[in-house]
Amino acid sequence: MTDRPHHRNDSSQVKDLMQFEDPNPCDKCGQHKREQNGKESSSQAGHSSSSSSTSPSSSRAGGCRQEEKDEPVRTKKDEPVRTKKDEPAMTRRDEQGATRRDEPGATRRDEQGATRRDEQGATRRDEPGTTRRDEQGATRRDEQGATWRDHGSSSCCQLDDLKRLPQCNRKLGRLDFSRTHTVLVDVDAFNNGGGLRAQSGRDIWHNNFVKMPSSPSSFAVVKTGFTKTPTKVRRWEEISKHLKGLAKKTTVSVNDVEEAIIKCNPKYKDQWSFDALSIFVKCIPKTENYFPALFPKIAALALKLPDYVNKAIPLLQRGKHASITLSQGQIACLLANAFFCTFPHRNATNPNAEYHNYPTINFTSLFGKWSERKKEKLRAIMHYFKEVTGENSKPTGLVTFERRCLRDTDISTWRNCKEKMSKLHVASHGTIETEGTGMLQVDFACNMIGGGVLGAGLVQEEILFLINPELIVSRLFTEKLDDNECLIITGSQQFSRYSGFGDTFEWAGPHVDRLQRDEWGRRQRQILAIDALHFRHSREQYSMTKVTRELNKAYCGFKADRNDEPDIATGKWGCGAFHGDSQLKAVIQLMAAAKARRGLAFFTFQDEPLKRDLQEIHHLLLSEGATVGKLFELLEDYCSEQDRKTAHVDLFDFIRNRYKPSRSHL
C-alpha cells in the first residue's frame, strides 16, 4: 500500500451508528456528508490510511513524522536588515486606505515603534527580542524561543515545536500499587529486574470486580450421565476440558472453534452465528491462511489465565478515579478468553443485565453476520494473536488504563479563566496517530469505550482499536463514561498497518512498533478517549449548557497530571454524523488546551477552509490577548444570537466582527 487514499478520518457513517451491538449511542465524531452524486466526502483529521511498512499511515515508528507540504521555511538572519533608505520611494496605503509615498531613505515605524519592511517581502522588527516574518509567510520566534510559521496572517507553530513524550522529563520512579492503582504484576520482581510475574492475590466474586471465567465461584449447569441429568459444575473445568481438546491439535477448523464456544455457553446454541469467521477462513488465500494452526495456540493461551492473572481486576467505575496496569502478556491472555467467549455474565445487553452499562467483551458479535468489514477486522485481530503467541514475538511490556474524573474542585468558572491561547499547529494533511506520535492522541470515543470494534462499526475509534488491539481489553473493565470522565491508555503497542476508512478499510500488513519504552516498560504512546455529545439536530449544540459540557469533557482529558506532559493531537472531535459544528468544536478544544496550558496539533484532514480559518482566528485571538474567559463570554453571545436567528451564524465571522480591531490583524 503506497498511496494514502482520501477517506473520512474522524467521521462516522449513519449506518455505523445503527449497526453497533450496543444500544447506547456512541460518538464516532465523524463527518457524514453526501455529495449530490451520491459519493461520500472526506471529513476529519483523526485517522488516516497506512502507507508504508513502518506506520499505519506513513511512518509511526520512532516518531517519524511527515511535515505538511508548505513552502520551505527560510530565515534571513544571515542578511543585513535593510531599511527604507536602501530602496527607492514607493507607494503605500495607510490604515484608512489613503495612498501615500515614502520618501527615499525614510525609516517607517508603526504604532509600537517597530521598524517594518515594505510589501515586497523584507523583514520587519516588532517587540524587542522577537524576530517576525512578513506577509509572505516567513518564520518568527516568540518570547519562549519557539519557531512559528506564518501562513499569511497566522501565529501557528510548526509541528516540531510541539512537545512529545520522549522530550518530557517525566520521572515515574519505581512501579508501585496504591489504593487507586492496581498493578497485576509483581512490583518487587519488576523493580529488581526479575521480569514480569503475576502479582499474587485472591479471586473476588463481587460486583466491583471483573467476574473471571477461572473463578471458583463461577458455575455452569451441564447435562451428564446416560440420563443427561443437569449437574452444577465449576465453569472453568468445562472451559478447560474443551479448550485443552483444541490446544492438543496441530490444526483446528472453524467448526471445532464454534463447537468449543457453544459448549462453554450452551444457552446460546441457537442464538449465536459464526458465519463471518467461517467465510473469513475460506476466503483468505492459502498463502496467508495460517488460521487453522493458530486456533490451537489461542486456546493454549486462554488456558493460562489462572497462572497469568492471580489478582482480582477491579472495575473502572463511574465517578471513581482509578487505574490498572497489566503486562502485555496478561492482556493477550484475557483477549484469548474473549476470543473463546469465556467471560461470564457478559453476553446479555438488556437494561436489566448485570453488565448493561459496560461494553461487550466476548467476540460473539465479531464472529457473526459476515461482511467485508468483518473480514478486514478479523485479519487485524488474527495477526495480533499470531504475534502474541509466537515464541520470538511475544510482547514484554506494561500497559496502564486510567479512568479520570473531573471533580467539582477541578472545574473553575470558565468565565473567570485568565489563560490565553496556547501554541497551535493546524494541518490539512497528516493524522493523529502518525504525525501526532508521542503526543496525547485523542480518540473520538463512544461513551461505551471501543464503540463498534467487535461489531459493524469501522471509523476512527474502531480503527484505532484494531491496529492497537490491546485497547480492546479496556472493554472488560471500563464502565460507560460520564460527562466529566475520560479514559487514558498509556503503553499500547501498534501491531498493524491499514488503509481506507469505513467500507474501504483494509488491513495493510504487520507494523513493527519501535517506540521507546518508559521506566515502567510502557510504549511511549498515550491515547485519550473522550466522547462528544450526539446532537440529533445541529442547532441543539448552540446552548451554553452543551458547550460547557464539551468544555469540561475536553478539559478532563487535556488537564495535565504532571508538570511536564506532551502536547495534544486532535481534530474535528464530535463532528459529522453527530452534527458537531467543526468551528465550535475547534474553539472548545482551543479553550480546553489553553486552560490546561498545553499546545495543540489540529488535523483537519484536507479541510482547507477550516485550516485557513482556524489559523486566522488563532492569530486574531493571540493578537488581541484574548483570554479563555473572554472567549467564553463571546460563546454566550454567539449562542444567544444563534437562538434568535433562523439562519446559521458562522462562529469565526462572529468572533471577527466582535473584535473589529483598529488595524487589520488578518
- Distance, in Å, from the CA atom of 177 to the CA atom of 465, rounded to the nearest integer, reads 27
pLDDT in the model for residue 169: 78
Collapse the DSSP code of 232 into the 3-class scheme (helix H, G, I; strand E, B; otherwise coil) and give the result: strand
**AA identity, residue 181:** H
Helix axes 254-264, 291-302, angle to 10 degrees: 30
- The pLDDT tens digits for 440-451 are 999 999 999 999
Q: Which residues contact 97 (CB under 8 A, 6 or more apart)?
A: none
Q: Which of 633, 661, 626, 658 is nearest to 418 (CA)?
A: 626
Identify whether 21 is a catalytic site residue: no
The C-alpha atoms of residue 231 and residue 226 are separated, in whole angstroms, by 13
> How many beta carbons lie within 10 A of that of residue 60, not counting itself?
29
Q: Using CA atoms in the order 354, 357, 358, 363, what is the torsion angle rounded to 10 degrees? A: 70
pLDDT at position 246 = 97
Handedness of CA 76, 77, 78, 81 (dihedral sign): positive
Q: Of 381, 22, 362, 365, give the one whose Cα is nearest residue 213.
A: 362
End-to-end CA distance of the chain: 41
Backbone angles phi, psi at 379, to 5 degrees: -60, -40
Secondary structure element (H or E) that encloses residue 377, with its range: helix 372-389
Q: Which of 553, 211, 246, 191 is nearest to 348 (CA)?
A: 211
User: Computed from CA positions of residues 584, 586, 589, 593, in that sequence, does the dihedral angle turn out positive or negative?
Assistant: negative
Do residues 497 and 513 lie in contact, with contact meaning Cβ atoms separated by under 8 Å?
Answer: no
Cβ–Cβ < 8 Å for 48, 4: yes
In three-state secondary structure terms, 332 is helix
Nearest CA among 440, 397, 401 for reference residue 322:
401
Chain position carrying cell 510541539: 162
Question: Which residues share a beta bridge with 511?
Answer: none
Q: Active-site residue among 461, 485, 513, 581?
A: 461
> 655 near 626, Cβ under 8 Å?
no
506 assigned to active site: no
Closest of 601, 530, 587 to residue 414, by C-alpha? 587
Give me the catalytic one of 462, 518, 531, 581: 462
Instruction: Please state the separation of Cα 557 from the chain's center in Å.
Output: 11
Task: With a cut of 70, list the residues of the chain below it in pLDDT.
Answer: 1-153, 225, 661-666
Q: Which CA distances in Å does 650 have to 582, 613, 661?
A: 11, 11, 19
Burial class (CB in 10 A: 0-12, 13-18, 19+), 159: buried
Q: What pLDDT score was predicted for residue 310?
A: 95
Q: Which is nearest to 571 in space by CA: 411, 399, 434, 403?
A: 434
Closest Cα partner for 439 from 488, 402, 478, 475? 488
127 assigned to active site: no
Query: In which element (H, E) is residue 100 found?
Result: strand 99-102
CA distance 190 to 586: 42
Asked whether 461 and 451 are in contact (CB, 8 A), the reply is: yes
Catalytic residue among 443, 479, 513, 607: 443
Q: What pLDDT, on a 0 to 100 scale, did the predictor assign at position 65? A: 37
HSE-up of 492 (CA within 13 Å, CB side)? 27
Gap between the Cα atoms of 453 and 468, Å rounded:
11
Confirm if 214 and 330 have CB atoms less than 8 A apart: no
**Could you please report the per-residue DSSP string of 134-199?**
-TTT-EEE-TT--EEE-SSS--PBPGGGS--GGGS-----S----SSEEE-B-HHHHHTT----BP
| 514 and 61 Cβ atoms separated by less than 8 Å | yes
User: pTM of this prediction?
Assistant: 0.79
Can you give the pLDDT at residue 342? 98
